[in-house]
């Protein structure tokens, strides 16, 4: 009983800190709807209402949102409106989900602090209706919390949506709206005309908004990204295998190629995917580009204005799938650095994903194939709790050794992470570099000597 009493005392003290420490005196929520995933930015000015300095802020996250967060980050805002990143992590406390934010220094009682919390959320947008005829304009529906969902009381509140110029609410059966706010159009978006002056903690007011977005919702179910390192040729070979899909509105009837051509849909904006763009990195050489699918080589690809554009064999409509592979070659020296203290150690830094524009990745498998004889040291990932595995793989002319394969697993990523880099550190000695050509040379020499020896043998029958 004593242990149980102490446990409840600790839980009570935690929630006492969450509820009583802060008050939001100014709260602004900005929702970006310009992509196939949702970006939320929460700009908060809070005051410490407690009697002691506080350095931890618990940012409450609705449970239906927490399961779909691709990534989040927090930053303080100084008087010059400069932002400095802060340490934060998402945790579950007694059934509630929070981004636990560590402020850079304790905030004294009655003192104020300004900061911003950014969330990137996937699987929040759905076509409305789910099926439509070829050529119809697509609408999307977003369900979000209209009021500030915070662990602390809030005084002043604003909410704004970026992207579409207007939207309308869809009433949910059985749901009641405690706020009668009106939607109004703004330049580059729309907002609610908030009339309330204060909000209690954990105010829930779910609302479904329908807006026009006649574009695809690209979705990669599985991406296998293979990188082969060849110091001898100074090449980094990249091959990406896509299980590509589209979460846009489905066709209400079968696809007609004749209707597609008669309506000139390939020249119009539509929910179907007709081309996939891969932005290329400036200043990095790329060559030997290829594009294949399950049928074979696909010739409809080109490089234009620093973009690799590939065109599938058919338009990808809602709930359609397309499996394909793209590949190219870089100079290894553009991504590899030699350790300053140990000349046999190297650090390879590459983007986490190659990234076509505006896409969500369900699963990503990033594999590094080290040179034959190289020793894996460590991996540096920008994302927490990254799983990786090590195996051995044989390739061409791997007679005396194999390639070490390091595979990293990721889930629920978005294209915004394409500039985030993953580091791989390995050891590759001069002996390992020379071993393969020496063995191959010796093998050829032995073969030649054997051939010469055989030619000297007299197999003729003497009389």
Compute the distance between CA of residue 227 and CA of residue 350 in angstroms, rounded to an integer: 9
- Count how many residues are written for the chain: 463
Q: Match 């849909």 to its residue by tokens.
A: 265
Q: Are 358 and 277 in contact (CB under 8 A)?
A: no
Alpha helices in 277-334 (DSSP H): none
pLDDT in tens, the chain (463 residues): 333 333 333 433 444 456 568 999 999 999 999 999 999 999 999 999 988 999 999 999 988 888 899 988 899 887 667 777 888 888 887 778 899 999 989 999 999 999 999 999 999 999 999 999 998 999 999 999 999 999 999 999 999 999 998 899 887 766 677 788 889 988 889 999 998 889 999 998 888 999 999 999 999 999 999 999 999 889 999 999 999 999 999 999 888 888 888 888 878 889 999 999 888 877 788 889 999 988 888 888 888 877 888 999 999 999 999 999 999 999 999 999 988 888 889 999 999 987 777 899 999 999 999 988 889 999 988 887 678 899 988 877 666 667 889 999 999 999 888 888 999 999 988 877 777 777 778 878 888 888 888 887 776 666 5
pLDDT for 22 equals 93
Q: Does CATH place domain 218-437 in 2.20.28.10?
A: no
pLDDT for 174 equals 64
Compute the half-sphere exposure of residue 277: CA atoms within 13 Å on the CB side of its CA.
10
Compute the distance between CA of residue 165 and CA of residue 415 in angstroms, rounded to an integer: 24
> CATH code for 14-212?
2.60.40.1730
**Cβ neighbours of residue 239 under 8 Å, at least 6 residues apart?**
225, 226, 228, 325, 326, 327
Same CATH fold, 218-437 and 14-212? Answer: yes
Q: Are 218 and 359 in contact (CB under 8 A)?
A: yes
By DSSP bridging, strand 96-107 and strand 360-369 are unpaired
Kindly list the domain boundaries of the chain, sorted by start residue.
14-212, 218-437
Q: Which two tokens stand for residue 363?
A: 């699963």
pLDDT for 173 equals 66
Burial of 174 (0-12, 13-18, 19+ CB in 10 A): exposed
pLDDT for 161 equals 95
- Please give the span between the terminal C-alpha atoms of the chain, in angstroms, as a whole number: 110
62-100 core/surface letters (b: 16 or more CB in 10 A; e: else): eeebbebbbbbbbebbeeeeeeeebebebeeeeebbbbb
pLDDT for 2 equals 39
pLDDT for 284 equals 86
Compute the distance between CA of residue 36 and CA of residue 273 in angstroms, rounded to an integer: 13
* 452 sits in which H/E element: helix 430-456
pLDDT for 12 equals 39
Compute the half-sphere exposure of residue 192: CA atoms within 13 Å on the CB side of its CA.
22
Compute the distance between CA of residue 302 and CA of residue 291 in angstroms, rounded to an integer: 10
Compute the distance between CA of residue 384 and CA of residue 397 in angstroms, rounded to an integer: 37
């Amino acid at each position: 009983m004593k242990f149980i009493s102490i446990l409840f005392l600790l839980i009570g003290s935690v929630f006492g800190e969450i509820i009583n420490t802060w008050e939001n005196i100014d709260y602004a929520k900005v929702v970006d709807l310009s992509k196939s995933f949702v970006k939320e930015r929460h700009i908060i000015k809070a005051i410490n209402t407690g009697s002691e300095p506080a350095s931890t802020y618990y940012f409450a996250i609705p449970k239906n949102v927490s399961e779909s967060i691709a990534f989040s980050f927090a930053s303080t805002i100084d008087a010059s409106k400069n932002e400095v990143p802060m340490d934060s992590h998402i945790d579950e406390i007694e059934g509630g989900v929070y981004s636990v934010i560590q402020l850079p220094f304790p905030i004294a009682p009655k003192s104020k602090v300004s900061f911003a919390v950014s969330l990137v959320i996937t699987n929040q947008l759905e076509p409305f209706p789910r099926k439509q005829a070829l050529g119809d304009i697509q609408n999307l529906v977003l369900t979000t919390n209209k009021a500030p969902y915070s662990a602390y009381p809030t005084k002043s509140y604003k909410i704004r949506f970026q992207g579409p110029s207007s939207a309308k609410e869809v009433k949910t059966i059985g749901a009641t709206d405690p706020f009668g706010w009106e939607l109004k159009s703004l330049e580059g978006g729309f907002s609610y005309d908030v009339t309330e002056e204060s909000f209690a903690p954990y105010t829930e007011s779910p609302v479904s908004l329908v807006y026009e977005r006649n574009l695809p919702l690209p979705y990669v179910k599985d991406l296998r990204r293979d990188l082969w390192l060849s110091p001898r040729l100074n090449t980094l070979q990249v091959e990406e295998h896509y299980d590509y899909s589209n979460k846009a509105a489905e066709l209400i009837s079968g696809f007609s190629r004749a209707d597609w051509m008669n309506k000139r849909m390939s020249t119009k904006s539509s929910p179907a995917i007709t081309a996939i763009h891969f932005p290329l990195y400036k200043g990095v050489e790329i060559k030997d580009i290829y594009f294949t699918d399950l049928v074979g080589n696909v010739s409809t690809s080109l490089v234009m204005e620093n973009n690799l554009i590939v065109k599938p064999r058919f338009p990808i409509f809602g709930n359609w799938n397309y499996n394909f592979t793209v590949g190219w070659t870089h100079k290894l020296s553009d991504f590899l650095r030699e350790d300053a203290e140990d000349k046999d150690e190297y650090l390879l830094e590459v983007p986490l994903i190659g990234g076509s524009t505006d896409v969500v990745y369900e699963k990503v498998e990033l594999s590094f194939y080290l040179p034959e004889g190289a020793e894996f040291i460590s991996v540096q990932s920008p994302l927490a709790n990254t799983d990786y595995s090590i195996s051995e793989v044989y390739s061409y002319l791997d007679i005396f050794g194999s390639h070490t394969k390091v595979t990293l697993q990721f889930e629920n990523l978005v294209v915004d992470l394409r500039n985030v880099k993953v580091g791989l550190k390995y050891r590759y000695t001069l002996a390992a570099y020379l071993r393969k050509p020496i063995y191959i040379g010796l093998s050829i020499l032995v073969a030649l000597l054997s051939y010469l020896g055989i030619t000297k043998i007299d197999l003729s029958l003497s009389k």
